[in-house]
Structure 1
Amino acid sequence: MTTSLPAALAAGPVVVDGGLSTELEARGHDVSSSLWSARLLRDDPDAVVAVHAAFAAAGAQVATTASYQATVEGFAAAGLDRAGALALVARSVELARRSAPGSWVAGSVGPYGAALADGSEYTGGYVAEVGVDRLRAFHRPRMAALAEAGADVLACETLPAAAEVEAVLAEATSLGVPVWLSLTTVVDADGVARTRRGERAADVFAMARGVPEVVAVGVNCTDPAAVGPALDAAAAAGLPLLACPNSGEVWDAAARRWRGTGDVDTAAVPGWVRAGARLVGGCCRVGPAGIAAIARTLRHDQGP
């Protein structure tokens, strides 16, 4: 893209892609290992290219790399050394660029809990033990590799707790790379959006206020019904907002399967845009058809 992503966000909504890993799974690829879709960066890169291309054909303007679970630690457990792991992280950018040449490339930076492959990104239970310094050290190599490979922005996503937000903000500032900051949230009985760790989401989003590297804040891997309260909370940052909910289904980490049914109700999309959403897409179980419906809704809402 010749236009910078911040400039595009100032002009209007931008369509983000959907759930890369769950679309790979829907196409018959095995993503059940602890590496999830990152395994295919090594074993079947053409499959990753095909899904990126499908989302681009559906109207996605941002291609999110297959690096959510691509970490030095995760690849080490699979027998790959540090250099090999970081080469695969860089490959994720090249594959996205190749398959969606007209798109911005967002380098996916998943939370520490994703590397544990135990569903703890949906609890944030690890942050008290791990601490901010260790989280910074964990995120640093991948963030640097994605930036060096030419990602337009780093998608720091599915963050469950304030401590991890602090860590990725510190690393983004240290590296001087543009990021978007995306929490996974729930709504409490009083209608207040909270992180998975239980903190008030508005307080966590406010941590990004005044940080020049942050181009947008918002939510992903959140139930579609919880997006509205989350966007209200995200307004505390004073930045463009992001809304990339999952389908409404719930991940059962013990059984390693999705439970329930659901889909993103595109009738809610114009309301998200009125609330400030400028990056709109999907997450787990939202495939190319769902992204095409979001793109059509945005075109209709914006008019000719």
Structure 2
Amino acid sequence: MPDFPLATALAAGPVVLDGGLATQLEAQGHDLSSELWSSRLLHDAPEAVVAAHAAFAAAGAQVATTASYQVSVEGLAAAGLDATEARRLVVRSVHLAERGAPDAWIAGSVGPYGAALADGSEYTGAYADEIGVDRLRQWHRPRMEWLAEAGADVLACETVPAAAEAEALLEEADMLGMPVWLSLTTVLDSDGVVRTRRGEPAGEVFAMARDLDAVVAVGVNCTDPDGVLAAVTAAGVAGRPVVVYPNSGERWDAAGRRWTGTAGLSPHNALTWVHAGARLVGGCCRVGPRSIGALAAALRPAPSGEPVGPHNGH
């Protein structure tokens, strides 16, 4: 990994994230249809995870996000694995990322409670109010501690759908004293307001991070690219660098069980986000190494020090 903190790099200019790890693992021929998704491969095919990280690193990603998004004690217990094995797999996720991307910062993925339910509820946040902040803190704590102990450079608290869960994650990160970014999954409503999937104004959630030293960035992921620019503006209230890694822009046709639309993360859009204030930029679902490579090329500094792109004559 680099010999200086991610926060230092973000202060100097844009940093390129990786893309959808599950997307790349599927492209490598792996079936991720189980309730454990890509985390199953931490147990069954660790070398595949190394190869996926290496593909993104070769494309120009400067951050490798671990395959721990859906790892939980409860989820693994349902698959016949105990808490000791859960800890071992979380630690392994960090070491596999280090092997695949030795020159990258390692972001320990902390997915939402809803991801472990494998029922799509991370896109509604319906559970958050019922469970409450204290219980969510308890649920997230072991994985966050294991990722920190394993040597992750930063915790990626990502695809967070509700204010209560964001509060729980921020309080836990503050207690742990570990660098963290908070990334919401959001929608842009008809009035142009960026909202969590639970319906709260995203700006109010971002503001929770304003006075927490552990927070290195706030922003959005697993959202439509069309809503990212508004989200960058909304995230500015936190006074932190902004992280954005949207989906490819394709949409899932549930009836036809297929993706529709145009795949790929637009480098032109990414440049627009950077000029609006984004500093940590990558992709999520359906974004593979090719798209990250195009993004990295677009954000590579020109001789003037500005990212290459239409804003500086390239």
The answer to whether TM tops 0.5 is: yes
Mapping for residues 244-255 of structure 1, pairs under 5 Å: 244-251=245-252
Match for residue 66 of structure 1? Answer: 67
Mapping for residues 137-216 of structure 1, pairs under 5 Å: 137-216=138-217
Q: Deviations over 1:142-167 (max 9, x none)?
A: 00000000000000000000000000
2:64–2:104: 8 Å Cα contact kept in structure 1?
A: yes
Distance 2:72 2:83 in 1: 9
Are 2:307 and 1:302 aligned?
Answer: yes
2:162–2:198: 8 Å Cα contact kept in structure 1?
A: yes
**RMSD between superposed Cα atoms in Å:** 1.6
Distance 1:169 1:25 in 2: 32
State the SS of the aligned residue for 1:273: helix
State the SS of the aligned residue for 2:159: strand
Report the CA distance between 1:250 and its aligned residue.
3.6
State the SS of the aligned residue for 1:302: coil
Match for residue 234 of structure 1? Answer: 235
Distance 2:7 2:95 in 1: 22
Distance 1:82 1:123 in 2: 28
Tell me which amino acid in the other structure corresponds to 1:140.
R
Distance 2:123 2:133 in 1: 18
State the SS of the aligned residue for 2:213: coil
Report the CA distance between 1:266 and its aligned residue.
1.4
Match for residue 119 of structure 1? Answer: 120
Match for residue 261 of structure 1? Answer: 261
1:32–1:256: 8 Å Cα contact kept in structure 2?
A: no
Report the CA distance between 1:26 and its aligned residue.
2.0
Tell me which amino acid in the other structure corresponds to 2:180.
V
State the SS of the aligned residue for 2:279: strand
Distance 1:164 1:78 in 2: 25
Q: Deviations over 1:180-236 (max 9, x none)?
A: 000011000011110000000111100100100000001100101110011111001
Distance 2:114 2:76 in 1: 15
Gaps of 5+ in 1: none
Shift of the 116–177 alpha-carbon distance from structure 1 to 2, 3 Å rule, reads same
Q: Which deviates more from structure 2 when the two are superposed, residues 259-268 or residues 19-28?
A: 259-268
Match for residue 9 of structure 1? Answer: 10
Mapping for residues 52-131 of structure 1, pairs under 5 Å: 52-131=53-132
Distance 1:156 1:217 in 2: 10
Distance 1:94 1:144 in 2: 15
Match for residue 275 of structure 1? Answer: 276
State the SS of the aligned residue for 2:217: strand
Q: Deviations over 1:29-71 (max 9, x none)?
A: 0111110000000000000000000000000000000000011
State the SS of the aligned residue for 1:63: strand
Match for residue 289 of structure 2? Answer: 288
2:66–2:97: 8 Å Cα contact kept in structure 1?
A: yes
Shift of the 112–250 alpha-carbon distance from structure 1 to 2, 3 Å rule, reads farther
